[in-house]
Each structure stands twice: as C-alpha cells, then as structure tokens.
A and B are shown apart, each in its own frame.
Chain A
Amino acid sequence: MKGIIFTEFLDLVEKEFGFEMQDAIIEECDLPSGGSYTSVGTYNHLEIVALVSKLSEKTTIPVPDLLQIYGEHLFGRFTQLYGGFFTGETTAFEFLESVESQIHVEVLKLYPTAQLPRFDTKRISEDSLEMIYHSGRHLEDVAQGLIRGCLKHFGERAEIQRDPASDDGGVRFVITRTPAAIAS
C-alpha cells in the first residue's frame, strides 16, 4: 500500500486527536515499519488495519466510521495534492466513472507495481450510478468515504446505498442523487 495512505491517516489522527494519540497508536501497534512512513514508499496494508483498530480501541469510535471519515478526508487531500486530476470532469458521477480508466492508469505509470482496487461503474439511470469495489484488502469503508468526499468536492448530495460483499468479494454501491442536489 502506498505511503500516502499512512501519512495522510497519521496527519488526520494528529489533527483530530493530537500528536500524543498519534504516537500512542504507533507505539502500541508494534509495526514492522516502526511507524516511519514516506508518501512515496510502499508498506504492508495490515499496518493501516492495525493503526485504525488501535485508534478505534482508544477512541471507542467504530472502525467503519473511522475509515469512512478517513476516506472522505483523503479525497479532499487528493484534490489539493493532485489538482490536475480534477479539472476535466464536471460532476461526481463523471469523476467516479473516470477513476478506473484515467486516474488508475496514470497512477500505474508512476508506480508500475502498485496494487490498486478496481471500480466497475454503470449508470442505472440519469441520477443513479452503480459502483462495484473490488479489492483483496476489503477497505470498502475507505471507498465509501472517498465517494462521500467526491460528492462533497463537486457540491452534490446523494444517497449511498451499500450492499453486502458478494461471493466474488465485490462490494456494490448505488449512488443516487437527491432531488435537492439536482435542482441546485
């Protein structure tokens, strides 16, 4: 997993819970990397699972909630760090549809060995988009947070319906824009 996922997570922890909490979860997790992350490095994804679980334990906030908050925060950071990727599309649906065909293609150019999740999208109707998340890491909560961050970035409101993981491990999201959002 790319280091930016870790650095951004730890920055968020520091911002929301203070540097003591950040230090505590690192120290208590006994991480192979020792908690030294650089955004361009590559680390075992189990370390983020351990860090989130420890944070949940300490804050009593459920892991899914923490991951969704983190996903939403991460999308905002992406827009700041990689603004070039966010200039073409004008709606959240258009952006989500381009993740697989454009953004992941560019990421793989920079990091050919990166193991990226796969997003399959399909327009169910004009206001409804189906998005299926495939990843062996099962970070579907982060994916949901990213979708929320995306909607927020484009100033849109929508309901996100999430189905349980299917047999092949894919998690299906159905994103339906609310009438208020369409009117605005």
Chain B
Amino acid sequence: MGAKEEILQRRYERERRARQEAERLLEEKSLEVYHSNKNLKQLTLDLEKRVEEATHRTRFQESKFTALFEHSFDGILIHDTDGRVLEANHELARMLGVTLERISSMNLMDMHPESELHTAKAALQTVEDQGFHRFEIDFLRADGSCFPAEVAASRFEVNGKTVVQGMVRDITHQKRQQAELRAARDEAERANKAKSLFLANMSHEIRTPMNGIIGVSELLNATRLDPEQKELTETIRKSGENLLEIINDVLDISKIESGKLDLESAPFSLSEVIERAVTGVMATASSRGIELACIIDPKVHDWLLGDSTRLRQIISNLLGNAVKFTHEGEVSLKVDALEVANGRQRLSLAVSDTGIGISAEHLPVCFKNSVKWTRAPPATTAAPGWDSPSAVVWSN
C-alpha cells in the first residue's frame, strides 16, 4: 500500500469512527427529545387541567357576581372617573324608570337633579381620594320626579383604569318614617306642654278657693267653739294645708316640665333656712320620740346667694322623708364646708337617719324619678347616699 492509500485508509477510519460517534450522539439526543416530548405532553395535560379548573372557578365567580348584580335589592352602577356608565343592573333601571340600553349611554350626572350635581361631583372626588364613600343624594327619574337614595360607592382598578361601583338604595320609605316619627314626637311634646299648662292653671284655680277654706277655718277656729267643733275646724284647716301643699308640689312639677321654673338669686341666711326646715318637722319628730340633730361646720359661710325657697324645700323634703321612715333613734342634718373654688365655697348638706333606709336596687330609681332632685336648682346639686342623702350648695 502506497503512502497516499495509507493516508486515505486512516482518513476513512477516522471518518467511520466520527460517523459512529455522531450516530451515538444522535441516538442520545433522540432519547432526550423523546423524554422531553413525553414530559411536555404531561406538562400540557397538567396545564390544560389547571386552565380548566381556573376557568371553572372564574365561571363560578362570574355566576355569583351576576346573581348578586342582577338580583340585588339595590341598584348597582359601575362607571369611570368621568361618570360614564360602564354597567348597571335592572334594579337601577327600574328605579330610574329607563331601559338598560338607555342607562349604558348615560352619564352619572344625568341621573341627578340640577340641585344635586354639586353633591354628586364632590362625592365622586371623595371616592377617588379615599376609596370609599357613603352619602345621601336625590336621583332623577325619567318622568322628572326625584327620589332620595343612600349610596355606598367604592373605587377599584380594572386593567390599570380606575372605576367606581355605586350601590344605590331608595330611602323614600325610610325618610317618610323619619318625618312621621318627628311629627309624632312634636305632637307628643305639644300635648305634654298643654297638659303642664292645664295642670298649672288648674292648680292655681284650686289654690285660690283652698286659701279661702284655710283662712275661713282659721277665723272659725278663733271664734267661741266647743272642743268638738274646735277639733273639727282644726281638721278642716290641716286637711286644707295638706291639700295646698300637694297642689303646690303639682304646680312645681308642671312649672319644671314646662320650663317655667325660675330660680331666684338673692342673699339669704343658711342657718335661717335650716331652722325653718327643722322647725317644720319638729312636731312630727317629737311626737314619735325621734331626736333631731343639726351640726353646722363653723367654716360654713352663713350668708349665701341663691334660691332659699327651693333650698328649704329640698332640706324639708329630706328631713320630712327621714322622719317619716324612722320609727326610733335620730335624724341628723350635717352641713360641711368642702372646698373653695373660683371664689365660691362648696357645701355638703347630709341628712342621715336610723330608719329603714333605701335598698340598693331602688336607690337609682328613687333619685331618677324624683322631680325634686333631678330638677333641683343649678346652684344646688344632690349627691346620692345609702341612708344619708346630701345636698351640695355653692356660696359666694
């Protein structure tokens, strides 16, 4: 074999081996492609399954949304930030008295009367700024009539664009009910005022003849009478005085209810007021063997500014009540100087007794329903206590 043949022989061998190597690599690659294809098919199947599931979920969400949208009791409107309607439901079309086709060509501002356009624009701006806004506004029907509505509007993004969804609820019925309630309340207040006026007038009318009865019985009592007659006239006088007191209380209540109770602001002696109040219950107390005690702190100013009549009434009522419900022991009135603020002295008037007291459950009701307490003069406030009701007075 010549040199050239040898070279060609070697070349042939190299090329044969290269071909074999190429075939091996081709086989390897084919297997790779086969497996890749298989994996790809599985991947496609998985992907199809996921797409199907996602589609199913989307359809379900769509159905749910459609059901809510179409069968809502409220009108629903979706519009862009310029107010152009993107979608609306049948309920809103019904409320406005237009067709769905007509709504789709409308602008939000076409749905309100001229007088409400400012409110509508301001509300739209608020929704854009804050994301949510609830407000009341009148809507305009196709026939030109209006109805009041409550709107809950919220902003959201769709494909990078801001849209607003508004839930519109007709509140005509609610508004009517509110107006009726207001009218009923006004009527009740008017009736109550009339009742108070009637009571005030009646009490006044009754008091005049009562004063006549008491005066005449006193005059009669001053004449020569036998003991039995004296006792009878005395009974007439006492009964008259009791009745007059009840009438005065009724008159006070009606004055308070009608807001006609004016408080005086005049200088008075506290000790004098207390003395008169104590004297008023002294007879009853001594007849029952109950001891009456009155302790006044030396720091207490005697000369005060206020309504002495009302203060005496309060002290008398507290003492009278204490004596009434105490069968033995004592009733005491204690006056203390609490503090000085803004040139005024704060006083505490506490009445305590050894009587049956007031149960805890009745205590709030007692003070709540007591006109004398709740309507006590502003210069005189009351602090509740278990068995020692007290009054607090400001003095200059």
Binding site for B on A (CB under 8 A): 19-20, 23, 26-27, 34-41
* A-contact bits for B117-143, CB 8 A (1 contact / 0 none): 000000000000000000000000000
**Chain A residues within an 8 Å CB radius of B29:** 40
Inter-subunit contact B15/A36 (CB<8 Å): yes
- Which of B7, B21, B25, B26 meets A36, CB within 8 Å? B21
Inter-subunit contact A19/B11 (CB<8 Å): yes
Inter-subunit contact B22/A23 (CB<8 Å): no
**Chain A residues within an 8 Å CB radius of B10:** 23, 26-27
Inter-subunit contact B7/A40 (CB<8 Å): no
CA distance A34 to B13 in the complex (A): 10
B19 adjacent to chain A (CB < 8 Å): yes
Leading 8 A-B pairs by shortest Cβ distance: A36-B17, A38-B22, A36-B18, A36-B14, A23-B7, A38-B18, A38-B21, A40-B25
Report how many A-B pairs have Cβ atoms within 8 Å. Answer: 35
In the complex formed, the residue of A with least CB distance to B26 is A40
**Chain A residues within an 8 Å CB radius of B4:** 20
26 A-B residue pairings within 8 Å (CB atoms): A19-B7, A20-B4, A20-B7, A23-B7, A26-B10, A26-B14, A34-B17, A35-B14, A36-B13, A36-B14, A36-B15, A36-B16, A36-B17, A36-B18, A36-B21, A38-B18, A38-B19, A38-B21, A38-B22, A38-B25, A39-B22, A40-B22, A40-B29, A41-B18, A41-B21, A41-B25
- Which of B11, B16, B17 meets A23, CB within 8 Å? B11
Chain A binding site: helix, strand, loop or mixed by DSSP?
loop
**Chain B residues within an 8 Å CB radius of A20:** 4, 7
In the complex formed, the residue of B with least CB distance to A112 is B32
B31 to chain A, nearest CB (A): 14
A10 to chain B, nearest CB (A): 9
CA distance A26 to B15 in the complex (A): 13
Additional A-B contact list (20), CB under 8 Å, known A36-B16, A40-B25: A19-B7, A19-B11, A23-B7, A23-B10, A23-B11, A26-B14, A27-B10, A34-B14, A36-B13, A36-B21, A37-B18, A38-B18, A38-B19, A38-B21, A38-B22, A40-B22, A40-B26, A40-B29, A41-B21, A41-B25
In the complex formed, the residue of A with least CB distance to B14 is A36
**Chain A residues within an 8 Å CB radius of B14:** 26, 34-36
B32 to chain A, nearest CB (A): 10
CA distance A19 to B14 in the complex (A): 13
**Chain B residues within an 8 Å CB radius of A26:** 10, 14
**Chain A residues within an 8 Å CB radius of B19:** 38
CA distance A40 to B25 in the complex (A): 7
A37 to chain B, nearest CB (A): 6
Inter-subunit contact B17/A41 (CB<8 Å): no
Inter-subunit contact A41/B22 (CB<8 Å): yes
CA distance A61 to B29 in the complex (A): 39
* A-contact bits for B1-38, CB 8 A (1 contact / 0 none): 00010010011011111110110011001000000000
In the complex formed, the residue of B with least CB distance to A7 is B18
